[in-house]
A = this chain, B = another copy of it.
Amino acid sequence: MNFKNFKYKILILIVATFSFVYQNGYSQEHPSLILTKEGVKKIRAQLGKVPLFDKTLAKVKEEVDAEILAGIEVPIPKDFSGGYTHERHKRNFLIIQKAGVLYQILDDEKYAVYVKDMLLAYAKMYPTLPIHPQERSYARGKLFWQCLNDSNWLVYVSQAYDCVYDYLSKNERKHLEKNLFRPFADFISLGNPQFFNRVHNHSTWGNVAVGMIALVMNDNKLLDRALNGLKTDNINPNQKDNDGGFIKKAGQKVGFLANIDEPFSPDGYYTEGPYYQRYAMYPFLVFAESLENVKPEMKIFEYKNGVLIKSINTLLNLTDTEGEFFPLNDGQKGMSYYSRELVSSVDIGYYFGGNQSELLSIAKEQGEVLLDETGLSVAMGVRDELAKPFFKKSVVYTDGADGTQGGVGIIRANGSKDELALVFKFSSQGLSHGHYDKLSFSFYEGGNEVLQDYGLARFVNIQQKGGGNYLKENTTWAKQTIAHNTIVQNETSHFGGNFEIGSLNHSNKYLFDVSNPAVQIISAKENNAYPGTELHRTMVIIKDEKFENPYLLDILKVNSAKENQYDLPYYFMGQVISTNFKYTIPTILTKLGGKNGYQHLWNEGVGKSDGENAKLTWFNNERFYTLTSFVSKDDELIFARIGANDPDFNLRRDAGFIIRKKTVKDAVYVSVIESHGNYSPVDEIATNAFSNVKNVDVVFNDANYIAIAVTRENNEKKLFVLALNDISNNSKHKIEIRDKSVEWTGAYHFNNFN
């Protein structure tokens, strides 16, 4: 034992003694967290009458029964995530929670015995455990390599304890609390203030773990620690976590309530992005449910104008048509509202958020419910056919605690085929999981990516890939600006890739107007990513009946005080079908650059346009897509391939197309992106395989206005004009375009142009 650990043990001892005095607040019945005595009665009365609940119950029973048969294993902690001991302890906490619930619902003692035996096994081992042997984490746990996972464990196990509380003898409870729960709660809080006293999804788990066990043990002092954090922590304001994020800003509020206050915007957008919001939703909501049951006077679901309930709807809106989350910032693709966290969210949201019948249609798709009163009410709603479709709208969500730090816009348009969805990001940094991609976007058609956001460079819980943790390519590639569909100046990332600077800044919404379903606009400005350079990007989804599907118009204005090189990549998914420009391919592949993500791109070819437009058609998932870009003859048109400098094959070999403007001060990038036609390998018939855009032209461009003409193949023209500094609905505008006067009222103008 080293001196540091010794000090810490004494501290634990003192605090443990201290909190023991406070533990008997008032007499409390059990269960009381996610299940209540009253709720259990209701559930028992409905057994066999509510198909979705019964189905879930049967599935959970089968799973738990199999585990009971297999016997309890509580191995000495050793592995990273993906490894045996990690996965075993993870499985234990998931199963013990279910076993506790089964005991309450089915009133079958074998489940209580299983919970008790496992708790006792942990209580026997825990006091003997040193810090976890894997050393990578800034906050190492005991059961797991990081306190985060230890906290997961306690969040679930507290519920199991609550379920068998009355089944256990007083001595058994005393033993468990003394040797397992209190030291456990203290270790992840007092023992790891750098983990517990933050605003971060990690801390949310830590706070809730402590809060849940505090509620079971009826310990108000401990509950206060959970809600409001440690009073003192001595955290160095320069200390960072493993992801490069700051631990804590000086003076920042901490604890569970601060973790609602700070990362959630008033619209319920969680600043880390939907993947981590999903991860945090379980502790946020299961603790809120528990608080509501035990301390209804707190009115937790009304806290910050009911942001917790609001955030459920926000999260559901941040998905594609398959229910998969848009992978903003660090997000692993494929995570969806079918995850267990979202089952909880939907059920709790339905029950405590006014029985919103749209949630029932999501629950139907999920096909399972929580085994508590919230899940029962959802299952009954589904049974009674109360479900209404969950209709995802075009929407903008503010970012930042007070909603003033930019945001994220989603524009959706129904074409003749699947829904098209534009995801446009102009948010704040998003804490340590943020990417340097101001004004970036991704574009979906149904569940397919048309222009992708790369997501993260990590194989979560796949042990062979760096223990399932973040890979170095997450920093060197996935977070870099060039990995995104946004502008890069002089081959450097936004804010120089500096987290501190990035965290101080955000983009600003300029315009969000979807009042006309045929012309849906999102527009934002960014003036800090490259000091001295102003970026203004506007994206419009236009539904023009002369096109097979709505198309995306992308307008990016760059104004700089000095000459720069600008790169605008489009990470198109699929295979090149044709271009309207000549390009040459190299006989050897070299990297596109030396750093800031460029070292991970192979240069697969470079072209030049001999006209005003560069056109690239590609093919994916039996459909054709065309990017038509307004370019100058000096622009380099670069085909890139991800995967250079990738010694462990951690990166996907996906394609990119980069429009490079060299040595210019100001620049205008304008492109139209079409989805068109289809091809079935069974019928072998290609329909509408060609773009319908003959030309994209910038017909006006000054400090106050930009005007784009889109010419169809039949020579008919549409004009889109945007006022760049005035979005007032009442402002009257007038400009001359090629000797014609164009007049309108409001921020933009869209019409025929002949």
Contacts and interface: CB of A to CB of B under 8 A. Distances in A.
12 contacts: A87-B685, A87-B686, A332-B681, A332-B684, A334-B681, A339-B682, A461-B684, A465-B578, A585-B646, A585-B647, A587-B591, A641-B653
Contacts of A576: 648-649
Given A585-B647, A589-B602, A602-B589, A82 B463 contact: no
A1 to B, nearest CB: 34
A684 B460 contact: yes
Interface string A576-595: 11100000110111110000
Interface string A651-683: 011010000000000000000000000011111
A343 to B, nearest CB: 11
Interface in A408-467: 459-465
Nearest to A340: B683
B682 A336 contact: yes
A229 to B, nearest CB: 28
Given A461-B685, A464-B690, A584-B647, 7 more contacts: A332-B684, A336-B681, A336-B682, A339-B682, A462-B679, A464-B578, A585-B646
Nearest to A655: B653
A619 interface: yes
Contacts of A578: 464-465
Contacts of A648: 576
Interface of A: 82, 87, 90, 332-336, 338-340, 459-465, 468, 575-578, 584-585, 587-591, 602, 604, 617, 619, 639, 641, 643, 645-649, 652-653, 655, 679-686, 689-690
B460 A577 contact: no
A320 to B, nearest CB: 14
Contacts of A461: 679, 684-686
A604 B646 CA distance: 10
B652 A575 contact: yes
A609 to B, nearest CB: 17
Contacts of A682: 334-336, 338-339
Contacts of A653: 641, 653, 655
Contacts of A459: 577, 619
B588 A590 contact: yes
Contacts of A617: 464
A649 B685 contact: no
Contacts of A339: 682-683
B689 A82 contact: yes
Contacts of A90: 685
Nearest to A646: B585
Pairs A-B, 3 closest by C-beta atoms: A334-B681, A576-B649, A589-B589
A510 to B, nearest CB: 35
A467 to B, nearest CB: 11
Nearest to A334: B681
A521 B338 CA distance: 42
**Residue from A643, A683, A684 with most neighbouring chain B CB atoms (10 Å):** A684
Contacts of A684: 332, 335, 460-461
A598 B608 CA distance: 29
B686 A82 contact: yes
Contacts of A647: 584-585
A166 to B, nearest CB: 32
Nearest to A332: B681
A577 B464 contact: yes
B463 A689 contact: yes
A683 B279 CA distance: 11
